[in-house]
Every structure is written in C-alpha cells, then in structure tokens.
Amino acid sequence: MTVTLWHILQFIVLIPVLGGSVYALLCLWAAGRFRRQAREHEGSKTRERAFAEWPPVTILKPVCGVEKHQRENLRSACVQDYPEFQVVFSVQDADDPALPLLYELREEFGTELVTVAVENIRAGTNGKINNMIGGLRHARHDVLVISDSDVRLNPDYLKTIVAPLGKADVGCVCTFYKAARADTWYEKVELLTLNADFISNVLFAHASGASRFCLGASAAIRRSTLEEIEGFEGLSDYLVEDYEMGRRVWAMGKKVAIVPYFVDTIVDLKNPSAWWNHQIYWDQNTRAARPFAFFSTALIRSVPFAFIFAAMRLFDPAGLAVLIGATGLRLVATALILGWGLRDGEGLRCLWLLPFRDLSSLATWLLAFTKKTTVWRGASFILTKDGRLVARNSGGGTTAPE
C-alpha cells in the first residue's frame, strides 16, 4: 500500500513536468508569432500615419532616489524624435538625491521640454501613483505617456506608443519591456525572471488571447480616458496598478493596444536580499492581479518538479532522465525565445543560471501565498485579498512599490 501511494505521488509530480514542457513549446510558438508581428509593424510604420498631425505629449517619469545608469535612462526621454512633447520628472521629497540630476537635465534641455515636479502627494499607499499624481499637476498636454524611471527609450518610442491612440476604440496603449544591464549574479537571475519567465508568459497571453493585461512601465493614455476611470487617485491603493488601469479601460468599452515593440528596463539590485524580496514581490503582483491563474502556474514548473521527482527516486536512471530531459528542453526553448524571439544576447549569456532561477521560483511561489506583506524600497505593506496595499507601519507607509 505504501509503495502504491509512493508511485501515485511520483505520477502527480510528473504532471507539472509534462505541463511545463508543453508550455515551453507554446511560449516558443508565441515568440515566433511576436517576431512576425514586429516585422509587420516595423514595415507599416513608414506607410501609415495614425494622426494628420502628431498630438503634443507629456511623458510622466516618476523618480525616487538614485538608480544605476540613471542619467542615460532619464536623458533618453528627452531626445525623442517627436514634434512637440514635455517630460515631467516628479519626486515626492524635496531632499530626494536624484534632484540635482533632474535640475541638470532641465538646464540642458530647457524648461519648455523638461519640468521638475516636487510634490508631496499622499493619495494612497502606492508610491508610484502618488508620484505621478504630483507630476500630472504639471502636465501641459492631453496625451500622457507613463515611463518608469529605470526604463531606457529609443528615439522612435513616442511615435510608436502614441500612434494607436489615433483609433477611437483604443483607450490605452502599452509596449513590452525586457530587463537589461545586469552585472551581478543576482541581477542576472532577476533578468531571467523578467525575460525568460514573465515576458514569455506575456507573449503567450498576447498571442493566444488567454488574458487581457496592461504593462504600466511603458503606457500611453489620454487624460480624458484617465479621468473616466477615476484618475490616478482611483489606482492609488493597488499593488498592481497597471493591471487595474487596464481592467477599467476594458470595462469602459475600450481596448488596451499592445505594440510589438520592446524598451529596456535597467536591473538595479543592491544585494541578494533585495533580489529575493523582489522575486517574492513579482509573484505577489501576479497573485494579486490574477490569483487563480497564478495558482495554476504550479502546473507548468517543469524543472522544480523534475528535481523533486528525481529526488523521490533517489536520482536513479529514470529520475535523472526526467530531470535532464525537462531541464534540457527548458534551456533550449528559452534560448530560442531569448535569442530568436527577443534578440536578447544578454539573456543568453545568463542562461546558465536558469535552473537555479527555476528552483528558487518554487519557493517564492509558495511564499507569495503565505506572506501577507510585501516590501518595496524598505517599506512594508499588508496585501489585501483584492490586491490593495495597507501601510504596515507609519514610518514606511507612504512609500510603495514602483
């Protein structure tokens, strides 16, 4: 009886191994479809104009503290190939250490282009939203582009992300993003979390229509649409504010357009502890936005469960065959997605860390269910069942995830 039960448990453990292996091939298919869409989009850019005249745009760049490659990242927003635009760098604290750099950029490009907003807004617990509310007070234009402070933009970015707003049924636009410039081993693991896991999942959701999403690190929306969904204030207590923004846009009868275009987000982690907390934070994001879908990801974690299967069999030939086969397929499929689908050479160079990343992800997946708090920029928050943030302590309760 004990042997039979043990065999049943082994069979159950094999289900995620098989599911994850099939899913890896589906993500490879999605990456191929993305490449075709990207080529078609690139070809159509020279033939189509969404507007008779490009509308003026305000880029909202919420900033909090000093970050790696910060000058290059922020400066990239100021050198766009676009007729008329404004860049608003916003901070919450008059003593923010990034302010000298922001003033330098304002001096370099002039006050017509660059605005520095220092506004201490406390509309809710989400610090990024509080920061953007302050920036919005200084925005001169109706079309708003949200771009995180660690995102680096190419000169054609504004035209690319604004163009779909020319269609009446589009309420919001976003682009894909991938991690870049990882230096330490834990930054490389973070890069793989984004590029080899999160983005693969997003590409599959986009290609298959399995879910609707909005990527808030790089998004465009009209001020009038934002007001219809209760403004930034209505998003100020949500951990995953971009998902909530997209959900509200869809609910009002408009769609979120996803442009087959990538921007880079620069990986900046100070130590392994910051990496570990951010891994849990990523999983808490997904759990808060789509709890059932997050729970079901247990069925596609091939490498951790292949390792468990091999351990259950004391790493006998059958156990090792499953572990080597699942790991090999995961590595090959991911290499093709990164190299062929995303043109991500940096991700390919980090690929040797993928098995470790996959094994550690099972632990953070479990913690995302059991931990009731989330940590970002040194502040701790309680995460409610509907995805809202509640400040855990008065000293850190006003700084929240970005």
Q: How many CA atoms lie within 13 A of 338 on its CB side?
A: 26
Q: Do 103 and 114 form a contact (C-beta atoms < 8 A)? A: no
What amino acid occupies position 287?
R
What percent of the chain has pLDDT above 90?
71
Phi and psi, residue 239, nearest 5°: -65, -50
| Beta-bridge partners for 368 | none
Contacts within 8 Å (CB) and 24+ apart, 74-81: 74/101, 74/102, 74/105, 74/149, 75/105, 76/152, 76/153, 76/154, 77/147, 77/153, 78/105, 78/108, 78/109, 78/113, 78/114, 79/155, 80/153, 80/155, 80/157, 80/158, 81/155, 81/156, 81/158, 81/159
Q: Which residues touch 383 (CB under 8 Å, ≥6 apart)?
A: 239, 284, 288, 371, 372, 373, 374, 389, 390
β-pair type (85-91, 57-62): parallel
Could you read off the pLDDT of 44-59 as tens digits, one per residue?
654 455 677 899 999 9
For the segment 145-201, what is each residue's pLDDT rounded down to a tens digit? 999 999 999 999 999 999 999 999 999 999 999 999 999 999 999 999 999 999 999
Residues of the chain predicted below pLDDT 50: 1, 46-47, 394-402
pLDDT of residue 213: 82
| Number of Cβ within a 10 Å radius of residue 128 | 24
Which residue in 300, 263, 252, 276 sits closest to 179, CA to CA?
263
Helix (H) or strand (E) holding 157: helix 157-162
HSE-CB of 109 using CA atoms within 13 angstroms: 22
Q: How far apart are CA 382 and CA 28, in angstroms?
A: 37
Residue 243: which H helix or E strand, with range? helix 241-251
| Residue whose entry in the numeric block shows the structure tokens 């043990």 | 6
Residues listed for the chain: 402
For residue 173, the SS3 value is strand
User: Is 288 buried (19+), middle (13-18) or exposed (0-12) by CB count in 10 A?
Assistant: buried
SS3 372: coil
